[in-house]
Amino acid sequence: MEDAQLAELYKEQLFLQYARIGKCLSSERRLEILSLLSNGPKAVETLAHQSGMSFANVSRHLQVLLDANLVRFTQKGTYVIYSLANPLVAEFLMSLWKISEHQLSDVPRLKQNLYQQYENVRTISKKEVLERMKTGNFLVLDIRPKEEYEAQHIEGAVSVPMEELDDYLQNLPQETEIAAYCRGPYCVFTTQAVEKMLKKGFKAYRIEEGVHEWRTS
């Protein structure tokens, strides 16, 4: 085989491998599963509950992701626990979100529509959060499920899952300032949590970044 033919064959095979990842990510539900796993390992049952998909559908999508080597799994008793195969996958997802926001006008429009429904909710910057945490009367709440907090969280944050927020606020001094975060810029729960705190009389803010964005910003 001539050198030119060999080079062409190599190029075709290389891009064929790249395309495996592209084809795998052509499903919005698989992207959602990867996004959930970027916040920590999860059982199939947990992924089904958090995504609203059936156990069978989640299992099928996981098999496709497994074939593309984007996820891996371990056995824990009777449960199969899935996680991202490599931290690079989380970095790739962040890049995908950024590209989509810059290149697809519908993405920032959807984000803006959400914010307009919660006009009283203010976003606080990372710099402001770090400065106010030094005062000692400023709380950062992680409202994700506890297992996601335990996998990784913003340093100094307190784990208060969304379903426990009401009880937690009952024992908190009214003058306490609070900032909350969840799974990143497009997580609705953060905004809903802050609105709830504002209605209860707290001075509260929304942190736009999730854990990955916080660490890389």
Residue 194: both structure tokens together? 């802050």
Per-residue pLDDT at 138: 92
Per-residue pLDDT band at 160 (split at 50, 70, 90)? very high
User: What's the mean pLDDT in 133-156?
Assistant: 93
Domains 1-90 and 105-216 share a fold: no
Q: What are the tens digits of pLDDT across the range 9-40? A: 888 999 999 999 999 999 999 999 999 999 99
Q: What is the pLDDT of residue 143?
A: 97
Percent of the chain with pLDDT strictly greater than 70: 100
Annotated active-site residue 187? The verdict is: no
Q: How confident is the model at residue 136 (pLDDT cuts 50, 70, 90)?
A: confident
pLDDT band for 1, please (50, 70, 90 cuts). low
Write down the catalytic residue from 62, 133, 160, 182: 182
Burial-class residue 151 by CB neighbours within 10 Å (0-12, 13-18, 19+).
middle
Tell me what the pLDDT averaged over the chain comes to. 93
List the beta bridge partners of residue 73.
82
Q: What is the DSSP string of 106-164?
A: HHHHHHHHHHHHTTTPPEE-HHHHHHHHTTSSEEEEE-S-HHHHHH---TT-EE--GGG
Structural domain spans, the chain: 1-90, 105-216
Architecture of domain 1-90: Orthogonal Bundle (1.10)
Q: What is the pLDDT of residue 118?
A: 87
| Residue 145 predicted with pLDDT over 90 | yes
pLDDT of the residue at 10? 85
Q: Quick one: residue 54, left, alpha or beta (phi over 0 = left, psi -120 to 50 = alpha)?
A: beta
pLDDT digits (tens, 9 = 90+) for 75-99: 988 899 999 999 999 999 999 999 9
> pTM of this prediction?
0.87
What are the CB-based long-range contacts (under 8 Å, 24+) for 150-154? 150/40, 151/39, 151/40, 151/41, 152/39, 152/40, 152/211, 153/211, 154/181, 154/207, 154/211, 154/214
Determine the CATH number of domain 105-216: 3.40.250.10
